[in-house]
């Protein structure tokens, strides 16, 4: 267990990387959630359009709706993932060597453990991120009703009254209490299957890909990759970004399903789903295969810097420095 005393430094690194990363890319993640949730009424044309409209209608901080939940929970999430990945790697390595399947399995294990924090975190984050889209959708849906000919106005009048008072802004604590009250702990863990289906394949692609990109060009005389020699910083950064974006885009269809399943409040005429299979078949039928790549660009743009920043923080040894100052 010689390696476990590295954990505090690792945890600090993971935490710092998570906080810096989330702060940098959260608005793009918000755009991703809103784009993935669009079914009938296209409020947003794409990522930039979504960000521009959000800033216009909800202010600059509107782009950070739900960030508090993420910033609070990203450190424990990263901590679990790193600690688990480490423990699994130790258990699976023979004489200090870890075969490729071992890396994949360790990534799997890490992804599985992390779900404990990830699922409730993203569940709450998604409700908060999506609230503005529903608000933006209402005025778009309203003219359609008002345009109805004949004696409809008398029927429409009360609903237009209701339209003028926007619903109260949801808060993370409000949603949490409401979910616990109505659905118990299971309410917070809605979509846990979909989260696993996204995070486990992600880790299986990311970890081995990163390890191999990071080891490129460092062959020792025997032709064996020399893992002990550390990669230069730019290489870790680029490896992190590339492996991250490849993995992110690869699992986007699973992410779309997860976002749809975890969104509680649906807009006008939007489908509610019973589960993963139901969601998959309905999206396929109603929106076609391209719907499964909604938010793919956003995902690549979110994940690449996140993992790049993480590699950077590790490389610079922020955690070790902090511990050195404290010790």
Q: What is the mean pLDDT of the chain?
A: 84
Return d(Cα 230, Cα 321) in angstroms, integer: 18
pLDDT digits (tens, 9 = 90+) for 68-118: 999 999 888 888 887 888 889 888 988 878 888 888 888 889 889 999 999
In this predicted structure, what is the pLDDT of residue 320?
A: 84
CB-CB contact of 111 with 254 (8 Å): no
pLDDT digits (tens, 9 = 90+) for 174-184: 888 988 899 88
How many angstroms separate the Cα of 215 from the Cα of each of 11, 129, 211, 235? 24, 38, 6, 9
Quickly count: other Cβ atoms within 10 Å of residue 201's Cβ: 17
In this predicted structure, what is the pLDDT of residue 305?
A: 86
Quickly count: other Cβ atoms within 10 Å of residue 323's Cβ: 13
pLDDT > 70: what percent of the chain?
85
In this predicted structure, what is the pLDDT of residue 151?
A: 45
In this predicted structure, what is the pLDDT of residue 4?
A: 53
In this predicted structure, what is the pLDDT of residue 219?
A: 58
Return d(Cα 297, Cα 312) in angstroms, integer: 23
Q: How confident is the model at residue 231 (pLDDT cuts 50, 70, 90)?
A: confident
16 pLDDT more than 60: yes
Radius of gyration in angstroms for the set of CA atoms belonging to the chain, rounded to a whole number: 22
Return d(Cα 54, Cα 152) in angstroms, integer: 33
29 pLDDT more than 90: yes
In this predicted structure, what is the pLDDT of residue 274?
A: 92
60 pLDDT more than 60: yes
Q: State the residue for tokens 């075969």.
A: 99
User: Which residues, 6+ apart, have CB-to-CB distance to 269 below 8 Å?
Assistant: 39, 40, 41
128 pLDDT more than 80: yes
How far does Cα 225 stand from its chain's mean position? 33
Quickly count: other Cβ atoms within 10 Å of residue 123's Cβ: 25
The angle subtended at Cα 118 by Cα 92 and Cα 298, nearest 5°, is: 105
CB-CB contact of 82 with 12 (8 Å): no
- Mean pLDDT in residue range 215-235: 65
14 pLDDT more than 90: no
Task: Give the residue among 192, 190, 293 at the shortest CA–CA distance from 250.
Answer: 293
pLDDT digits (tens, 9 = 90+) for 143-163: 555 444 444 444 444 444 444
327 pLDDT more than 80: no
How many angstroms separate the Cα of 196 from the Cα of each of 76, 193, 258? 17, 5, 10
- Mean pLDDT in residue range 39-52: 92
Task: Give the residue among 226, 246, 232 at the shortest CA–CA distance from 303.
Answer: 246
Return d(Cα 243, Cα 228) in angstroms, integer: 21
pLDDT digits (tens, 9 = 90+) for 245-285: 999 999 999 999 999 999 999 988 899 999 999 999 999 99
């Amino acid at each position: 267990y010689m390696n476990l005393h590295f954990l505090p430094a690792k945890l600090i690194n993971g935490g710092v990387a998570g906080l810096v990363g989330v702060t940098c890319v959260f608005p793009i993640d918000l755009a991703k959630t809103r784009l993935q949730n669009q079914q009938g009424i296209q409020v947003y044309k794409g990522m930039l359009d979504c960000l521009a409209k959000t800033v216009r209608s909800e202010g600059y901080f509107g782009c950070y709706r739900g960030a508090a939940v993420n910033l609070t929970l990203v450190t424990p999430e990263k901590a679990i993932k790193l600690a688990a990945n480490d423990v699994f790697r130790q258990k699976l390595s023979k004489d200090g060597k870890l075969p490729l399947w071992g890396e994949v399995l360790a990534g799997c294990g890490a992804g599985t453990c992390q779900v404990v924090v990830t699922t409730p975190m993203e569940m709450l984050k998604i409700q908060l991120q999506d609230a503005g889209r529903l608000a933006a959708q209402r005025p778009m849906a309203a003219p359609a009703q008002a345009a109805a000919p004949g004696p409809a106005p008398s029927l429409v009048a009360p609903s237009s009254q209701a339209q003028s008072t926007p619903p109260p802004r949801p808060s993370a604590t409000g949603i949490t209490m409401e979910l616990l009250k109505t659905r118990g702990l299971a309410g917070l863990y809605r979509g846990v299957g979909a989260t696993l289906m996204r995070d486990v394949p992600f880790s299986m692609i990311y970890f081995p890909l990163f390890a191999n990109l990071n080891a490129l060009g460092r062959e020792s005389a025997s032709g064996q990759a020399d893992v002990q020699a550390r990669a230069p910083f730019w290489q870790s950064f680029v490896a992190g970004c590339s492996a991250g974006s490849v993995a992110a885009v690869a699992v986007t269809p699973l992410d779309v399903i997860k976002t749809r399943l975890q969104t509680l409040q649906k807009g006008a005429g939007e489908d509610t789903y019973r589960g993963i299979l139901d969601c998959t078949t309905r999206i396929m039928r109603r929106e076609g295969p391209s719907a499964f790549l909604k938010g793919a660009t956003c995902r690549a743009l979110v994940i690449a810097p996140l993992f790049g920043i993480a590699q950077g923080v590790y490389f610079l040894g922020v955690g070790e420095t902090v511990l050195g100052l404290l010790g």
